[in-house]
Amino acid sequence: MHNFQYHRASDVNDAASKLSACDDPKLLAGGMTLLPTLKNRLAAPSDLIDLGNIAALKGIAVEGKEVVVRAMTPHAVVAASADVLKALPALASLAGNIGDPAVRHRGTIGGSVANSDPAADYPAACLGLDAVIETNKRKIAADDFFLGLFETALQEGEIITAVRFKVPDNAAYMKFRHPASGYAVVGVMVAKYGSKVRVAVTGAGPHAFRVTEMEKALEASFTPAAIANIKVSPEQLMGDIHCSAVYRSHLISVYARRAVEQMTK
């Protein structure tokens, strides 16, 4: 790991002013991706600004029909939260299957969402559960947030403070879990809001995305059969050492169907 200057932010404003004062800074959330990246010397920021001591960035609140998860809340806390288990069990289950227990004790929702790893789970939750990503500057709809491989709508100096999920009538997240890393080879979140349906996929493309064709079919008939013949074109998917784009396309259909099956059981 190259060395860097370390700063402990006392609050979000302090973090923002440190961000603007440093030459090539990075925010440090749980560090579950950033620290391995630095160890491999794939990044060499001049400064790390640690958000770990900002109490206001931790915690979960249910506000009407929304679940608000503050940015520095670890996955294990989301997974075990009585509020999340009651209002949004699909989100608790998603959080409880990220990485391993020790990783879930440190990794945070804000870090995951800001990184936009193509195989991370939370981006599927953000898109599937019609989330709003709140920052120190504005609110960004999840639909406008994930722009590319490790690329988001976040601007320089912008810090995620919370993710606000809309509570659906019903939702399920199904994932083909990489057996070694726990990352999603393919993960699909299906959520039903009245007559509207959202289908969000992670692990398969350069970033999480929605499958509108499946959404329309499920809005017409919310049954596994309705999406049986809908395929996402492999041309827009990734092939890598783990599996081909064609296989990922197949997995999307299978895991979307399984999510609908769970919801209609």
Partner 1 sequence: MDIDVKMTVNGKAVTGKVEPRTLLVQFIREHLRLTGTHVGCDTTQCGCCVVHVDGVAMKSCTMLAVQAEGRSVTTIEGLAAADGTLHPMQEAFREHHGLQCGFCTPGMVMMGVDIARRLPNADEKTVRHQLEGNICRCTGYQGIVEAIMDASAKMAAKA
Q: Which residue has the tokens 């092939």?
A: 239
Question: In terms of CB distance, is 5 or 13 closer to partner 1?
Answer: 5
CB atoms within 10 A of CB 138: 11
66, 83, 89, 105: residue in contact with partner 1 (rule CB under 8 A): 105
48, 67, 190, 226: residue in contact with partner 1 (rule CB under 8 A): 48
**Taking phi first (over 0 means left), then psi (-120 to 50 degrees means alpha), and beta for anything else, what does residue 144 get?**
alpha
Options 28-36, 130-138, 154-162, 207-215: segment touching partner 1 (CB under 8 A): 28-36
Question: If binding means CB under 8 A, how many residues of this protein chain bind partner 1?
Answer: 28
Least spacing, CB of residue 100 vs partner 1, in Å: 3
| Per-residue binding letters, 52-71, with partner 1 (x by CB under 8 A) | x-------------------
11, 13, 24, 36: residue in contact with partner 1 (rule CB under 8 A): 36
Sheet holding 66-70, edge to edge: 60-63, 66-70, 160-166, 132-135, 139-141
φ/ψ (deg, to 5) at 179: -65, -25
| Per-residue binding letters, 139-178, with partner 1 (x by CB under 8 A) | ----------------------------------------
Q: Which residue has the tokens 């227990």?
A: 101
9, 15, 28, 214: residue in contact with partner 1 (rule CB under 8 A): 28
89, 99, 157, 206: residue in contact with partner 1 (rule CB under 8 A): 99
Interaction between residue 10 and partner 1 (CB under 8 A): no
15, 16, 19, 32: residue in contact with partner 1 (rule CB under 8 A): 32
Residues of the shown chain interacting with partner 1 in the complex, contacts defined by CB under 8 A: 1-6, 8, 28, 31-32, 35-36, 38-39, 48, 50, 52, 76, 99-103, 105-106, 180-182
